[in-house]
């Protein structure tokens, strides 16, 4: 006798196994889950897979997210430790990685994280040969380089979340001083995602009116308005938020979801993301650092050539040299 479900619907053709815009997120810690929820609530992907090693946590997070689907457009969600689940992904977001232990050297952390990626990246590419990789794990510029090397993918398809977040923090803090919306305040932070990031003060503007035209010393040591303090706050932000609430999650989640949207929808917006910068701004080493890039369905298609000051160029080159040393 036919079941209720068989009585209800007559199949016309088999539904597709994997939809067009499938995203995999590796790592379901606070950052990974914030990325997942951010993607989900903004209807950015039609299929989402979560991968990690902790089976219970994965199952619990999956259930919790699925239980909210009646309030959103439908998304197919799966979760597990088997990378086969990730097959057919247009984009794989890697958030997994070790956190710095007390007294641990940066170099040691890098080695530990490189080993973690060794277990991950080849499997992701194996199951989704046409995927893009978006690396979030820190230190992100180094990890993006490592991921690129391990993946065998062309460099345009391996992207680091880089200073997209730093730029967002920069714009928010600038917006507080200007008292206009953050997305009406324009400013870019490039280079290393971390302590030696480079704020491009010459480009900071509202409605095309440059800060440097209003205050030629803005951002320099001679600046009486001390705009440079905003960059210091950006660099301190992550440490401060970790001190206050234990970890950062929401801003990085939003940063990653907007990059995801740009890739899946081929929107060709410009974002500061970590890409291969040998040959850019006088960098000679084969390293990844953030510069404004045009992002689309096939990854990075263009790099925006900013006019940097001598100081900004040498800072970038210095970061590149340090990274190369570690690599």
CA pair distance 140, 265, nearest whole angstrom: 24
For residues 273 and 162, the answer to whether their CB atoms sit within 8 Å is: yes
Confirm whether 127 is a catalytic residue: no
- Restricted to residues 202-221, the positions that interact with other proteins (CB under 8 A) are 206, 209, 214
Matching residue, tokens 């480079």: 198
Q: Any contact of residue 95 with other proteins (CB under 8 A)?
A: no
Question: Residue 24 burial (CB < 10 Å; 0-12/13-18/19+)?
Answer: buried
152 annotated as ligand-binding: no
Cis amide leading into 139 (omega within 30): yes
Query: What are the strands of the beta sheet with 209-210, ordered from one edge?
Result: 185-186, 205-206, 209-210
> SS in 3 state form for 111-153?
HHHHHHHHHHHHHHHHHCCCCEEEECCCCHHHHHHHHHHHHCC
Q: Any contact of residue 9 with other proteins (CB under 8 A)?
A: yes
The one-character DSSP state at 68 is T
Q: Decide whether 71 or 310 has the Cβ nearer to other proteins.
A: 71
Question: How many beta carbons lie within 10 A of that of residue 184, not counting itself?
Answer: 11
CA 169 remoteness from chain centre: 14
Q: Any contact of residue 229 with other proteins (CB under 8 A)?
A: no
Given the residues 67, 127, 186, 193, the one annotated as active site: 193
151 annotated as ligand-binding: no
Q: Any contact of residue 105 with other proteins (CB under 8 A)?
A: no
Shortest Cβ 236–other proteins spacing (Å)? 10
Q: Calculate Rg over the CA atoms of the chain.
A: 21
Which of these ranges, 53-61, 88-96, 115-123, 287-295, lies near other proteins under the rule CB under 8 A? 53-61
Identify the residue among 12, 17, 71, 195 touching other proteins (CB under 8 A): 71
Nearest Cα to 319, choosing from 197, 164, 163?
A: 197
Q: Any contact of residue 73 with other proteins (CB under 8 A)?
A: yes
Shortest Cβ 171–other proteins spacing (Å)? 5
Q: Any contact of residue 231 with other proteins (CB under 8 A)?
A: no
Q: Any contact of residue 201 with other proteins (CB under 8 A)?
A: no
Q: Decide whether 50 or 120 has the Cβ nearer to other proteins.
A: 50
Question: Which residues here bind other proteins, judged by CB under 8 A?
Answer: 3-5, 7-9, 15, 34, 37-38, 40-42, 56-57, 59-61, 63-74, 165, 167-169, 171-172, 175, 178-179, 181-185, 206, 209, 214, 237, 240-246, 248-251, 253-255, 257-258
Q: Which residues are annotated as a binding site?
A: 27-32, 52, 113, 136-138
Question: Which are the catalytic amino acids?
Answer: 193
């Amino acid at each position: 006798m036919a079941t209720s479900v068989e009585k209800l619907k007559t199949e016309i053709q088999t539904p597709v196994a994997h939809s067009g815009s499938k995203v995999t997120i590796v790592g379901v810690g606070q950052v990974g889950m914030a990325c997942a929820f951010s993607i989900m609530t903004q209807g950015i992907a039609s299929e989402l897979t979560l991968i990690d090693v902790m089976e219970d946590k994965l199952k619990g997070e999956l259930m919790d997210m699925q239980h909210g689907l009646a309030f959103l457009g439908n998304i197919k969600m799966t979760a597990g430790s088997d990378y086969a689940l990730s097959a057919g992904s247009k984009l794989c977001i890697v958030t997994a990685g070790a956190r710095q232990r007390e007294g641990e050297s940066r170099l040691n952390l890098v080695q530990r994280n490189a080993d973690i990626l060794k277990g991950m990246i080849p499997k992701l590419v194996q199951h989704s040969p046409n995927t893009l990789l978006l690396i979030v794990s820190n230190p992100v510029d180094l990890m993006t380089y490592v991921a690129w090397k391990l993946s065998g993918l062309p460099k345009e398809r391996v992207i680091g979340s880089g200073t997209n977040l730093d730029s967002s923090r920069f714009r928010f803090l600038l917006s507080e001083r200007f008292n206009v919306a953050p997305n009406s305040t324009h400013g870019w932070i490039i280079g290393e995602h971390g302590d030696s990031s480079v704020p491009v003060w010459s480009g900071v503007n509202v409605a095309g009116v440059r800060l440097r035209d209003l205050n030629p010393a803005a951002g320099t040591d001679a600046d009486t308005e001390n705009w440079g303090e905003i960059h210091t706050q950006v660099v301190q932000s992550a440490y401060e938020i970790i001190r206050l609430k234990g970890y950062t999650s929401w801003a990085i989640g939003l940063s990653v979801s907007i990059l995801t949207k740009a890739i899946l929808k081929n929107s060709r917006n410009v974002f500061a993301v970590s890409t291969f910068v040998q040959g850019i701004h006088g960098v000679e080493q084969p390293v990844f650092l953030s510069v404004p890039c045009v992002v689309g369905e096939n990854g990075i298609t263009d790099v925006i050539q900013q006019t940097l000051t001598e100081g900004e160029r040498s800072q970038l080159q210095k970061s590149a040299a340090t990274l190369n040393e570690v690599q």
